[in-house]
């Protein structure tokens, strides 16, 4: 893979494909390629296609043909790989077309990555799960760090990280994101909950009551505050023990500290300046 720095990919697919005269950019100007010779794009972000919309597009193609060609790269003798135009290709198959007009791009794997990234970041109709899966696939397939991916797609690293975190959510919540029952804002807030039971409770409440993102964020914040308070109280000794330690400090003029272990055991630490102080303390303590 090339290590040369590339600009962020917010400039459009046509900027990478090269300058093409708009008057020339019609399906009649491109070769027809048999649909059975075209493989899917492994970086295709869209996983869910509206069947009704596809059939509508297929009907339009039957009457008007494919107005804009798909884009492919050649990967072998009579073998091509789709770069863009998945919906058009699927609709063409539904319309029983044997061939489709295609712009054939000479692209290696690194260029395909760049083209795929452009497709990913410019699509407005992708749901959050599809975007997250795209980022994850690109990280794995091309061994990129989140920082490198951030630079390549022109997205803040925190944004990418938030998308990747929702892939750790339970399947039920991911399905709700995929089918737009909840938004990315809801998902981002839910993904910050560590307790599985609390997570599902807030998720169900969100669905049942149609909670806003702000309301879900408030619920999550309250949950974390309670958890912090509970944890803090658990690590504090009882008032009775604290009173005993204060009496030791005052009566014997020593430094006394205490803490509670994760298993609930109390550890008391007494600080002495020398052996004589230790001996005097225990003599007096036993006499008491």
* Active-site amino acid positions: 86
Cβ count within 10 A of residue 181: 14
What 3-state class would DSSP assign to 226? Answer: helix
Beta strands in 133-271 (DSSP E): 255-260, 266-271
d(C-alpha 160, C-alpha 150), whole Å: 7
The structure tokens listed for 4 are: 């040369």
Instruction: Judge contact between 225 and 193, C-beta under 8 A.
Output: no
Edge-first strand order for the sheet with 99-105 is: 32-34, 99-105, 70-76, 79-84, 38-39
The structure tokens listed for 234 are: 């658990």
Instruction: Judge contact between 79 and 39, C-beta under 8 A.
Output: yes
Instruction: Judge contact between 253 and 259, C-beta under 8 A.
Output: no
Instruction: Judge contact between 144 and 157, C-beta under 8 A.
Output: no
């Amino acid at each position: 893979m090339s290590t040369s720095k590339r600009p962020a990919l917010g400039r459009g697919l046509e900027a990478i494909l090269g300058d093409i005269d708009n008057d020339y950019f019609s399906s009649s100007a491109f070769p027809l390629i048999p649909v059975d010779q075209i493989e899917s794009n492994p970086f295709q972000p869209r996983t869910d296609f509206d069947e009704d919309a596809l059939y509508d597009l297929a009907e339009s193609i039957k009457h008007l043909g494919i107005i804009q060609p798909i884009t492919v790269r050649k990967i072998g003798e009579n073998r091509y790989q789709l770069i863009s135009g998945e919906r058009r290709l699927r609709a063409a198959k539904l319309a029983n077309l044997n061939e489709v007009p295609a712009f054939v791009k000479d692209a290696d794997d690194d260029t395909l990555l760049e083209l795929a990234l452009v497709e990913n970041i410019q699509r407005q109709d992708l749901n959050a799960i599809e975007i997250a899966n795209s980022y994850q696939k690109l990280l794995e397939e091309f061994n990129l760090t989140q920082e490198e991916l951030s630079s390549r797609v022109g997205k803040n690293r925190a944004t990418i990280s938030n998308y990747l975190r929702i892939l750790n959510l339970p399947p039920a919540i991911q399905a709700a994101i995929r089918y737009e029952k909840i938004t990315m804002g809801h998902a981002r807030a839910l993904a910050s909950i560590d307790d599985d039971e609390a997570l599902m409770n807030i998720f169900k409440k969100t669905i049942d009551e149609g909670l806003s993102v702000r309301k879900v964020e408030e619920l999550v914040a309250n949950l974390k505050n309670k958890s912090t308070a509970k944890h803090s109280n658990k690590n504090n000794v009882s008032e009775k023990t604290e009173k005993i330690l204060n009496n030791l400090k005052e009566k014997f003029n020593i430094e006394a500290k205490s803490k509670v272990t994760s298993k609930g055991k109390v550890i008391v630490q007494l600080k002495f300046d020398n052996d004589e102080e230790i001996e005097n303390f225990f003599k007096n303590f036993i006499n008491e």
